[in-house]
């Protein structure tokens, strides 16, 4: 696989225009998309064809931006959600369901702490919080037979504690579960968690990723 500098990926990643196509990613503002027949639409609904029919589900601009972030992170694929909290929720809730358990760093964004400790607890998902500086023995003791994922932040918001991604990834993988890392503060320019063993990376793009927050 060819490697590019982050500066190049910021400009060029995720989008390769063809002849006569816009040089920059176009902003597609339509909520719906036209098809000649209902059969064409039916193929989209049945996942037999690729395409767009409603921007709440997929939108070309969003797909290009997701592809750019995936390229910056060195990931396989990406998707956009309505918020960073939605990204964390989907990442966790697609893996852990009622009756399952999560191990999480205790030094994470307050909204994410509340999401895991309160909101997801109401859905029957339990959590054990560990300090990012915990001993190997304490980290190992946090796991249960029903643990489905490990969660942490590259650089915690707002405590600024740094997660030892390699160590948490090794512990997660030893138990056959993925490590999910919120990389909002670092961005892929500062750190690429996949390079250190993370399996899923999330962002709140209204912070450093977009450069205005």
Query: Catalytic residues, which ones?
Result: 56, 109, 182, 207
Structure tokens at 175: 């138990």
Q: Report whether 188 contacts 72 (CB < 8 A).
A: yes
Return contacts of 159-163, CB within 8 angstroms, 24+ apart. 159/107, 160/185, 161/107, 161/132, 161/133, 162/132, 163/105, 163/107, 163/132
Cis peptide bond upstream of 56, omega within 30: no
CB neighbourhood size of 60 (10 A): 17
């Amino acid at each position: 696989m060819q490697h590019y500098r982050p500066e190049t990926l910021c400009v060029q990643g995720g989008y390769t225009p063809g002849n006569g196509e816009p040089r920059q990613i176009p902003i597609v503002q339509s909520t719906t998309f036209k098809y000649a027949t209902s059969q064409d639409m039916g193929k989209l609904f049945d996942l037999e064809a690729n395409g767009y029919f409603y921007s709440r589900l997929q939108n070309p601009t969003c797909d290009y931006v997701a592809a750019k972030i995936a390229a910056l992170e060195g990931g396989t694929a990406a998707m956009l959600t309505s918020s960073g909290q939605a990204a964390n929720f989907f990442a966790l809730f697609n893996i852990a369901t009622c009756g399952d358990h999560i191990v999480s760093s205790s030094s994470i964004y307050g909204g994410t702490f509340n999401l895991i400790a309160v909101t997801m607890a109401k859905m029957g998902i339990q959590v054990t919080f560990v300090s990012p500086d915990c001993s190997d023995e304490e980290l190992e003791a946090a796991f249960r037979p029903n643990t489905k994922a490990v969660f942490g932040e590259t650089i915690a918001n707002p405590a600024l504690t740094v997660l030892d991604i390699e160590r948490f990834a090794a512990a997660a993988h030893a138990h056959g579960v993925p490590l999910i890392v919120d990389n909002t503060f670092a961005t892929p320019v500062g750190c690429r968690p996949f390079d250190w063993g993370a399996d899923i990376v999330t962002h709140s793009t209204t912070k450093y990723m977009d450069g205005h927050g």
